[in-house]
Amino acid sequence: MEAGQMEEVERLLSGEVQETLPEAVELEAQRLIEPEERRIVTLSTDIAPDGTYADRWLVVTDRRLATFAPEDGKARLEVELALSEVRGVRLRDFLGNGSLEAVTETGAVEVVRFSRTIAPQMPRVQRILRALAKVSDSPGDHRRGKGGGGKALRCESCGRALPRWSEVCPFCMKRGQLIARLMSYVGPYKTIAIAGFLLSIVLTFLNLAPALVTRYLFDRVIGPGDLSRLGIPVRWLLAIYLTRTVVGMVRGYMMEWLGGRVVLDMRVQLYDHMQMLSLGFFSRKQTGQIMSRVTNDIMRLQYFVAEGLQQIIINLLTIPVICVMMFASDPKLAALTLVPTPFMALGTYMFGRMIHRVYQKVWRRYAGLNAVLADAIPGIRVVKSFAQEERESARFRDRSGSLFNQELNAVKLWTTFFPALGMMTAIGSLFIYWYGGRQVIEQQTTLGTLVMFTQLMWQFYMPVQMLGEMNHRVQHALTAAERVFEVLDTTPEIPDAPGSIKMERMEGRVEFRNVHFSYEAGKPVLQDISFVAEPGDVVGLVGPSGAGKSTLVHLLCRFYEVEEGQVLIDGHDVRELSLKSLRQQIGVVLQEPFLFHGTVADNIAYGVPTAKAPEIVAAAKAANAHDFIVSLPHGYDTQVGERGQLLSGGERQRVAIARAVLKNPRILILDEATSSVDTETEMLIQQALDRLVRNRTTFAIAHRLSTLRKASTILVLEHGRLVQIGSHDELLDVEGLYGRLCKLQSELSKVRGV
Amino acid sequence: MEDSPERTTEKASPRPEETSWEAEVERLEIADSRGVRIWRDAFRRLCLRLEDGTEHVDVRPAPVFPVSEAAEYVAFLDSEDKEVLLLRDMRWLEAESRRCLEEELGRVYFVPKIISIYDIEDAHGAARWEVETDRGYRLFDVRDREDVRVLEGRRVLLQDADGNRYEIADITEMDERSRRLVDGEI
């Protein structure tokens, strides 16, 4: 074996393709493999050749490849092939599975089949095999697959796949830690929190005190008929009620303030953090999901932080206090009152679980209903023009109906559970009347005690019920907390390396050196891209959609990091540059320019908020935008509306160009900046762009190849590879993708009469 | 649709031979592929001979309505992903061709059917399923409720965290326990 080949193999090796063989397979492998052979890959897969789920073991040595099928404690050799015979290695990528095939002089064999679970390891195996068999890739190996699916993150402790919305495993979530972390937000407002908590305890006792006064009222005043003492308990009760009201008001305000304040802090922290996160985070998640974290999830926490936890503590306190009060005055009666409690607690707990499940379904039905709306309302023009109003109505009616049915299930639970609970409480009171009444008549206990018991009983059952319910409320809050913390724990965008270089002024020399990149393991988006752009060059990026043009410029902006190779600006690896200084010198004009809510001037000055009026106007003039801006009702102070919707597409485009002009970047990226506008506007935009690209290194992604005539270099990408490079004229002279695309376009423009 | 509009836009299409929409419908409805032969060569490439005798090597079959099964069409794409044949019904193929195609389709479109469910462990929509499929026992994780899709109230399509697909053909035909477990997820 040549040294170069082995080096390549070493580079590709990783633990992922080297698993320990089970005993039976090991035994069988030893019979086949010579002791001096080196084992390079030992990997298990999960689908047998006949398409059933079964383990197969792939063993690759420096001499051969073999697969083994474990069967009843033994192993059977299934495929064996000497690497010297291998002429090619194919990876086939299908829906839900894939296969690895080895091609020889006379035919091909299927080596292994595997599910998508194993698929991410396979490109590496393929590359190792190719290096070992000394074959290069051949056409047909890059056939686009239908595999789909992403690289799921897995929990480090239990191995389960993490849900899409979370980077925390819901199965391994530690409640205590979460609560402690939540409570740390209360830290800065300790005084208020403690005061509020003390007031809550006072309030608890104030709630229990009337029962004691009532006993006094019956036993010492009404019973003996002592009119002179009637004023005492009434005055006491009045005092208690008054204090209770005032304490309640103060406490309520304090707790609401605390909850609101904590939520304010969290929301701001969350949003600040989000601004720092990488594009990868935002493309993984739906906008709605991200927004709901800043609003809904945080809202759920408000209640829990301010009230929930205190409620739990207060309830836990109230129960023993009442018990003491009851047992101290009549142990037997107290014991009887307690009889229904375990049933109540258990019942509430079970109800909580059931209703939670039912509500989950109700919510899903709601989501389904919303989906119909979100679909049909924005698409109402299509609905009407195809005269499908009735069908849309039917769809809505159908979803509404299933929501109603599901809600009925919840209603059934509510309406059976609460009366049943009421009955249990009533049974408790029956015990008290039946046994207590007899005690009073037999003069074993006083009437006052009996009345006190009935009052305490109600106050006792309440916290018991609440505790039963607490479980899933806490769960709810903690889930929300988890999602919020997940965002907070996501490491911000590719952080600056220590000692990163701040480039004050870059020349704009861009170089890609053997760049490889993929968003998902096993699905390369860019492969082995190398080129140089000198300062001031206009580089055109051409290729079918999905070829990797946008990804290439993303790597230049360092929205993502390269997997292999380097991106260099003025000879510095972009990873060595501080992100801020890098992006300050890159200007981007997108296909669908995004304007923010605000005035035209605000939008032009977005990158340079300190820009003065003359600078803004000059930028607008350079962008051919000045004329239309001054004709707007409020000139530069005209509001552009949400996402700039009050302007036309071509107008937005020119505002976006003005924005880039003002920023005065050394490197400019134009992403299909002239598509989707009429010819005249296109001309205006093109003029503006021609002015803009002067003296800057420009990367222009374009579908209309005519716009690239002036490009100094054109990079033609296909399936993530750089297939052609040269000027427009050079590329036209040779056979290739560029020539074909140009021919197609000129035919098209003949049809359009342009 | 009763009155079909004139199809003037057809001209813009780059295809050389133009057929009207109606003619295409008719052609699809009567297309007869009895003479088509399908086999796998020594290099494991799927090969196709059309009725007119033209042969295509290394074609890829693509089921056209794999989920709804609205029609039995199978498209055959060449290595450039261009369609070379739209097969109307594979039952018309002679036995050997049909076996070969079925085997290939089993690879191209691998969606085991769940027969019964041993357990579903759910935590807020993320769930671990332990099931028996027509291809054997399988344990998989579903990341999100969105990956469990219900069709017509009884059919369920699933995608696991790694992108593997599964299907429950009819919930109502499963055993009681399986039904109850699925019910919590849909």
B102 vs A642, which has greater pLDDT? B102
Burial of A717 (0-12, 13-18, 19+ CB in 10 A): buried
> Are residues B101 and B145 located together in one domain of the fold?
no
B173 vs A745, which has greater pLDDT? B173
Token reading at A739: 């020539």
Expressed as residue numbers, the domain containing B68 is 9-106
Beta bridge mates, B40? B46
pLDDT tens-digit readout, A409-445: 888 988 888 888 888 888 888 888 888 888 888 888 8
Global pTM reads: 0.67
Which helix H or strand E contains A454, and what residues bound it? Answer: helix A447-489
Question: pLDDT exceeding 70 applies to what percent of chain A?
Answer: 91
Chain A positions touching B184 (Cβ under 8 A) are 357
> Are residues B17 and B98 located together in one domain of the fold?
yes
Given a cut of 80, whether residue A54 has pLDDT beyond it is yes
Given a cut of 50, whether residue A107 has pLDDT beyond it is yes
pLDDT for the residue numbered B13: 45
> Are residues B120 and B176 located together in one domain of the fold?
yes
Does A240 reside within a domain?
yes
Closest residue in chain B to residue A52, using alpha carbons only: B135
> Are residues B70 and B98 located together in one domain of the fold?
yes
Q: How far apart are CA B175 and CA B162, in angstroms?
A: 27
Does B3 reside within a domain?
no
Amino acid at residue number A95: L
Token reading at B66: 């794999």
Does B2 reside within a domain?
no
> Are residues A83 and A210 located together in one domain of the fold?
no
Give the CATH number for residue A64: 2.30.29.30
Q: How far apart are CA A407 and CA A359, in angstroms?
A: 8
Does A407 reside within a domain?
no
> Are residues A199 and A68 located together in one domain of the fold?
no
Token reading at A403: 């929501």
Closest CA to A150 of B134, B159, B109: B159
Residue numbers of B between 128 and 157 with CB closer than 8 Å to A: 128, 133, 135-138, 140-146
> Are residues A67 and A185 located together in one domain of the fold?
no
Given a cut of 50, whether residue A110 has pLDDT beyond it is yes
> Are residues A543 and A648 located together in one domain of the fold?
no
Residue B129 binned pLDDT confidence (cut-offs 50, 70, 90): very high
> Are residues A707 and A579 located together in one domain of the fold?
yes
* B135 to A164: CB separation less than 8 angstroms, yes or no: no
Closest residue in chain A to residue B77, using alpha carbons only: A143
Number of domains, chain B: 2
Q: How far apart are CA A285 and CA A485, in angstroms?
A: 15
Does B4 reside within a domain?
no
pLDDT tens-digit readout, A510-548: 899 888 888 766 677 888 888 988 888 888 888 887 788
Q: How far apart, in Å, are the Cα atoms of A706 and each of A231, A719, A722, A742, B69?
A: 100, 23, 20, 8, 45
Given a cut of 80, whether residue A150 has pLDDT beyond it is no
How far B177 CA sits from the closest chain A CA (Å)? 17
Residue B92 binned pLDDT confidence (cut-offs 50, 70, 90): confident
Give the CATH number for residue A645: 3.40.50.300
Amino acid at residue number A473: R
Strands A53-61 and A39-47: antiparallel
Average pLDDT over residues B23-46: 83
This model of the complex carries an ipTM of: 0.85
> Are residues B64 and B140 located together in one domain of the fold?
no
How far A123 CA sits from the closest chain B CA (Å)? 16
* A160 to B125: CB separation less than 8 angstroms, yes or no: no
Cβ proximity of A712 and A718 under 8 Å: no
pLDDT tens-digit readout, A260-288: 888 888 888 888 888 887 777 776 666 66
pLDDT tens-digit readout, A565-587: 888 888 888 888 888 888 888 88
Query: Lowest-confidence range among A56-65, A71-80, A635-644, B54-63?
Result: A635-644
Residue A408's φ and ψ, nearest 5 degrees, are: -60, -40
A118-122, A298-302, A709-713, A744-748, range with greatest mean pLDDT: A118-122
How far B182 CA sits from the closest chain A CA (Å)? 12
Beta bridge mates, A66? A59, A80
* B107 to A479: CB separation less than 8 angstroms, yes or no: no
- Please count the other Cβ atoms lying within 10 Å of the Cβ belonging to residue A285: 15
> Are residues B59 and B118 located together in one domain of the fold?
no
> Are residues B43 and B69 located together in one domain of the fold?
yes
> Which of B81, B108, B138 is the closest to A95 by Cβ?
B108
Chain B positions touching A103 (Cβ under 8 A) are 43
Expressed as residue numbers, the domain containing A93 is 3-133
Token reading at A599: 């005035």
> Are residues A634 and A673 located together in one domain of the fold?
no
pLDDT for the residue numbered A461: 82
Mean pLDDT for chain A overall:
82
Number of domains, chain A: 4
Give residues with Cβ within 8 angstroms of A429, minimum separation 6: A454, A457
Token reading at A2: 């040549």
> Which of B58, B141, B145 is the closest to A161 by Cβ?
B141
